[in-house]
Amino acid sequence: MTTQTATTTAVRALDIDRSHSEVAFQVRHLLSKVRGRFADFTGTIQFDESNPQSSRVDVTIQARSIDTAEGDRDKHLRSADFFEVDTYPTLTFTSTSVTPRGDDTYDVVGDLTIHGVTRPVTLPASFLGAAQDPWGNTRFAFEAELKLNRKDFGLSWNAALETGGFLVGDEVKVTLSIQAK
């Protein structure tokens, strides 16, 4: 008689906890950097720690929620010069593959859509671990950072400077700090 023991790990279906997560960015403006964030976003993570290749990520960001702590600038960013939020109300990311790179680090490849333009991107992501909160819920933490060229997504508005160069840089650094439950 042969006995087989199957070991299965559950794929954890996690919802991003917006109140403990952040989608932030920075871009050069003249000589310094302007930082901002998107305040309204939702997402799910199907996380299989023992078989990361079967994991999946889906995120939707409300473009109108852009916040750089400067009302006039935010209004300009919502206009047709940049995000054109009435026509393109969301930014989305849908993963197509997850590949382990090392201990708790992964390349999350997927389709990023901004301003109606979809391009493949790779998010170098880290799993920071899991912990139980005071109410008995298990929370999972992830971080990712990538650089994008805003012009690749049709965000090309700029102003030439008298001294040469342009007002707004093309490279945007995006930082994700995610807690999910």
pLDDT of residue 161: 62
Kindly report the CA angle at 17 between 111 and 73, in degrees rounded to 5?
65
Q: Per residue of the chain (181 residues), what is the pLDDT tens digit?
A: 444 444 455 789 999 999 999 999 998 876 679 999 999 999 999 999 889 999 999 999 999 999 999 999 999 999 999 999 999 999 999 999 999 999 999 999 999 999 999 999 999 999 999 999 999 999 999 999 999 999 999 888 766 666 766 667 888 999 999 999 9
Residue 2 lies in a domain: no
Domain range enclosing 35: 12-180
Check if the beta carbon of residue 89 is closer than 8 Å to that of residue 62: yes
Structural domain count of the chain: 1
Calpha distance 114→111 (Å, rounded): 10
Residue 6 lies in a domain: no
Residue 33 lies in a domain: yes
Residue 156 lies in a domain: yes
| CATH code for the domain in which residue 39 is found | 2.40.128.110
Alpha carbon 139 to its chain centroid, in Å, reads 18
Residue 167 lies in a domain: yes
pLDDT of residue 166: 62
**Tokens representing 168?**
């707004």
Residue 21 lies in a domain: yes
pLDDT of residue 16: 98
Residue 5 lies in a domain: no
pLDDT of residue 11: 86
pLDDT of residue 160: 66
Residue 80 lies in a domain: yes
